[in-house]
Amino acid sequence: MAAGRVRRPWRYGLLLGAYALFLLLGAGVLVALEGAPEEALRRDLRAARARFLHDHRACLAAPQLERLLERLLVASGYGVSGLGNVSGDELWEFTSALFFTASVLTTTGYGHMVPLSAGGKIFCVLYSLLGIPMTLLLLGCLLHHLLPFVSYRPVHYIHSRWGYSRNRVALAHAAGLGLATLGLFILIPAVCFWALEGNWNFLESVYFCFISLSTIGLGDYVPKGSSKPALHELYELSVTCYLLVGLLAMLLTLETAYRLQEVRAFLHFFAPAGDSSQEDEDHVEILARDQFALATISPVSSPDRPTERGPT
């Protein structure tokens, strides 16, 4: 036990060091990949600005152009575009507000639209304080009720029916569930977004689906859909439903993977030394699985089976 307690801090250091290296690796790769395109875009913008000022030097000065661009950037930060006729692209109609609400409560937060008024900002803060815990509670209840049907019962049925190893069945089931989630909630929706969003390619559509369902929500890609009001509202409502259902599917897949023996063993490697809570949790989980198996198998009485008798 003493040796285990000595080894635990070394394991924590290993975990922290690996995570720090992972962060540094991500930052380094992004710098290498994005630095040159950013500089090229910056040069193009400077050249375009210089050409525009040169072509309109008789009626437009550089300070005037800077003020106009600053106003456009500020408006863009609130989700309001200053390009062309955007009278039919109101942000705060009902379905857009519903899409914004869903993105806030799921902590996706695209940032493509934000409250303009002080009252809207205050309401958003108070609404999120209440709504985010309610969303987590709802997702937790749904996971509690759906996980036996999605995870436990298929694994138990295959294990008891054909006698395969439970660990191997669980691993194959988790892999199959992950592929199903990838296909149904990433690839197929990506094809739909690719077809409906005129300026998205397939990679950008896959990127949007993953960024959304992982609740990262960078906001660089946000669905626009049809310019017709009725179709646009239906499209936004469909995307809202996709976001909620897809998030639940991702959580079911992750929870199924988390319960794999290999994953639990890896997590147990970094568990606090001398802490019996992990062992108790595993013991309770085994008992719960046994009770679940007994509850799902109908008892069959056999006339040939001897009856136990107590001492007389």
Q: What is the DSSP string of 236-251?
A: HHHHHHHHHHHHHHHH
Residues 310 and 267: their CA atoms lie apart, in Å, by 46
In a domain, residue 73? The reply is yes
User: pLDDT digit string (tens) for 76-109?
Assistant: 666 676 665 544 456 788 888 899 999 999 998 8
Q: In this structure, are 31 and 140 located in the same domain?
A: no
Residues 177 and 169: their CA atoms lie apart, in Å, by 12
Q: Give residues with Cβ within 8 angstroms of 236, minimum separation 6.
A: 95, 96, 98, 99, 223, 225
What is the predicted pLDDT for the residue at 190?
A: 96
- Residues in the chain, total: 312
Percent of the chain residues topping a pLDDT of 70:
78
239, 254, 272 - which closes a domain:
272
Q: In this structure, are 149 and 94 located in the same domain?
A: yes
In a domain, residue 295? The reply is no
What is the predicted pLDDT for the residue at 279?
A: 47
Residues 259 and 54: their CA atoms lie apart, in Å, by 65
Helix, strand counts (H, E) of the chain: 11, 0
The DSSP element (H or E) to which 234 belongs, if any, is helix 229-258
Q: In this structure, are 268 and 212 located in the same domain?
A: yes
In a domain, residue 191? The reply is yes
Q: In this structure, are 179 and 222 located in the same domain?
A: yes
Percent of the chain residues topping a pLDDT of 90:
34
What is the predicted pLDDT for the residue at 272?
A: 61
Q: Find the CATH number of the domain harbouring 147.
A: 1.10.287.70
Q: In this structure, are 70 and 203 located in the same domain?
A: no
Residues 62 and 46: their CA atoms lie apart, in Å, by 12
User: pLDDT digit string (tens) for 157-169?
Assistant: 888 888 888 889 9
In a domain, residue 53? The reply is yes
37, 52, 77 - which closes a domain:
77
Q: Give residues with Cβ within 8 angstroms of 286, minimum separation 6.
A: none
- Vertex 19, ends 5 and 285: CA angle to 5°? 55
* Farthest-apart Cα atoms in the chain, separation: 116
What is the predicted pLDDT for the residue at 164?
A: 87
The number of folded domains in the chain is 2
Structure tokens, 203: 């990679």
Q: In this structure, are 96 and 70 located in the same domain?
A: no
Q: In this structure, are 63 and 151 located in the same domain?
A: no
What is the predicted pLDDT for the residue at 220?
A: 86
In a domain, residue 252? The reply is yes
**C-alpha Rg value of the chain to the nearest Å:** 28
Domain membership of residue 137 as a residue range: 89-272
What is the predicted pLDDT for the residue at 89?
A: 56
In a domain, residue 59? The reply is yes
Q: What is the pTM of this model?
A: 0.73
Q: Give residues with Cβ within 8 angstroms of 105, minimum separation 6.
A: 128, 131, 132, 134, 135
Cβ atoms of residues 107 and 215 within 8 Å: yes
Structure tokens, 35: 């630095």
In a domain, residue 82? The reply is no
Q: In this structure, are 235 and 104 located in the same domain?
A: yes
Residue 290 confidence (pLDDT) above 50: no
77, 98, 118 - which closes a domain:
77
In a domain, residue 284? The reply is no
Q: In this structure, are 154 and 222 located in the same domain?
A: yes
